[in-house]
Structure 1
Amino acid sequence: MSVQIRNNVQVAGAGAVTMVFVHGFGCDQLMWRFTAGAFQDRYRVVTYDLTGSGGSDKAAYDRDKYASLHGHAADLLDIIDGFADGPTVVIGHSVGATIGMLATVAAPQRFVAQAMVAPSPCYINDGDYIGGFSREDIHELLDTMDANYLGWAQNLAPAIMGAPNRPDLRAELTSSFCSIDPDIARHFGRVTFLSDHRADVPKSTVPTLILQCSDDLIAPRQVGDYLHRHLPRSTLALIENVGHCPHMSAPSASSRAIDLFLSQTLPHTLSQPLASTTR
């Protein structure tokens, strides 16, 4: 099976640098449309669906391979091999940010930078580490997902989106959550919410933007501070946004933050200023 079919890879734009966008749990590549579109006039933009999500080939979802996020990181490296042209920047949202980080650890030479949008290397509180949830909270969340996935998705997705003044975005995320095969969602949900990749954080040595929301149910402010302390070459940027999906609910602010970071990180010959903003 080709990588393009497996992950429904799409390429747009052109430029000396390739930007690869990695979506989060319950999402698909369409949710990057507001942010990724701002870069297509200056960068080669690659979007794709994680195996098991969106328009990917669901038959390719191997529970053994994807029993850890490293399986998805391997897919990302396959996509970069097949579709990137020139230096690569990976932009990941939520668990997609951790997938991107793991890829930079496995193959640092392939990346010139990464942006982690609402990231979390571990969702469970542990001693002084604040991940946002107790272990009991996470197991209750997963038990509810197992018992009634659609009900769980309909209740949780609007809270994850936040965006109290954007019922359309809340409805879109709910629809996306509900469209996933429940068996795949349950498996990927356990891998996502039980993962702990704090030990991998200091191993990621590429320049990194940590894009944090001011009010995020899933990734509290302490997580961004933790990543900033432990990622060797990181920049922390805060967006005033209620919710976990600033690339959808605050796309202009997200695009500007990413653009500023790239303008300060990439050589001038590879980065040009953002000419216009998304809505």
Structure 2
Amino acid sequence: MTHTADRIIQRNAVQVLGDREKPVLMFGHGYGCGQTMWHRVIQPFLETHCVVLFDYVGSGRSDLSAYDRSRYDSLHGYATDVVEVIDSLGLSGITFVGHSVSGMIGALAAIERPDAFAQLVLVGASPRYVDDPTEYAGGFSREDVDQLLDAIDSNYLGWAESMAPALMGTPDRPELADELHSHFAGTNVDVAKQFARVTFLSDMRRYLPLVTTPTLIVQSPNDFIAPLPVGEYLRDHLAGSELKVLEFNGHYAHVSSPDELVSCIASVA
């Protein structure tokens, strides 16, 4: 591995688990989280797949000194990082499992390097969070998003504490919301503020027709971040895609319903 490849692996705190000769499963985490959020899902695949985990710069155990506000002022910067990790490891035939914003990051990476990807699995992904009254229901008005961003800007840690239970959607299992909150609280605040704007103000709809990788869309019937019409929109605008609606609440299938998600991933990986 070259010095540049070593730097990329360190930058994104990349872990490679299992046999590199086996089919590759690469997991991308969502906003305010890190690779350890996948711990309930990866175990069943360690003997059958090469599992690749990483953290986006500013999240988890990534190298914060590598954070560049101009590079990460759009989802394209994060997608470039994913491609660089893939090239540094010499990966191909990848099933990329992307939660939330990672779904669109993975889609952008697959557009850039379609030869490296065999399958996308988008978990609670959204190409646009803001409603377009003429043709698209994203789940939020622009006023809603502005208020959310103002709350993050003014008191990120307070926002994280109050929102974790609602996002997790498991009031009977408060320990899961506590786990999510701990991830939010461990994210660099300045990065979290910019990443929130990049995430919630993005519009990836025009890129969907460029995705040629087969895609499985995994949705909850009760997820206010990515409501069901968003999954249906993705299905209708991603060629060769399939929508699977699981029986769980909230935005985090890999935390609240890992067995169901494992079955979904195994069906295509």
TM-score range, shorter chain: over 0.9
- Residues 20-47 of structure 1: per-residue CA shift (max 9 Å, x gap): 1000001100001111222111110000
- Residues 92-115 of structure 1: per-residue CA shift (max 9 Å, x gap): 000011100010111111111110
Match of 1:196 among 189, 199, 203: 203
Matched ranges for 1:102-113 at <5 A: 102-113=108-119
Instruction: Name 1:216's counterpart in structure 2.
Output: 223
Matched, 1:243 2:250: yes
Matched ranges for 1:1-279 at <5 A: 2-14=7-19, 15-127=21-133, 128-262=135-269
CA RMSD of aligned residues (A): 1.1
Letter of the 2:240 counterpart = R
The 10-residue stretch of structure 1 (12-21 or 238-247) with the greater mean CA deviation from structure 2:
12-21
Aligned length: 262
Q: Distance in 1 between matches of 2:230 and 2:216?
A: 14
Q: Distance in 2 between matches of 1:163 and 1:43?
A: 30
Q: Distance in 2 between matches of 1:54 and 1:235?
A: 31
Letter of the 2:232 counterpart = D
User: Among the aligned pairs, what percent are the same residue?
Assistant: 45
SS in 1 for 2:61: coil
Superposition TM-score, scaled by structure 1 size:
0.91
Structure 1 unmatched ranges of 5 or more: 263-279
Structure 2 unmatched ranges of 5 or more: none
SS in 1 for 2:246: strand
SS in 2 for 1:215: coil
Following TM superposition, by how much is the alpha carbon of 1:86 offset from its aligned partner in structure 2, in angstroms? 4.0
* Structure 1 moving runs of 4+ over 6 Å: none
Q: Distance in 2 between matches of 1:221 and 1:261?
A: 21
Q: Distance in 1 between matches of 2:41 and 2:251?
A: 15
Query: For the Cα contact (< 8 Å) 1:16–1:86, is it kept in 2?
Result: no
SS in 1 for 2:111: helix
SS in 2 for 1:50: coil
Query: For the Cα contact (< 8 Å) 2:104–2:127, is it kept in 1?
Result: yes
SS in 1 for 2:247: strand
Query: For the Cα contact (< 8 Å) 1:16–1:87, is it kept in 2?
Result: no
Q: Distance in 1 between matches of 2:128 and 2:58?
A: 22
Following TM superposition, by how much is the alpha carbon of 1:83 offset from its aligned partner in structure 2, in angstroms? 2.3
Following TM superposition, by how much is the alpha carbon of 1:167 offset from its aligned partner in structure 2, in angstroms? 1.2
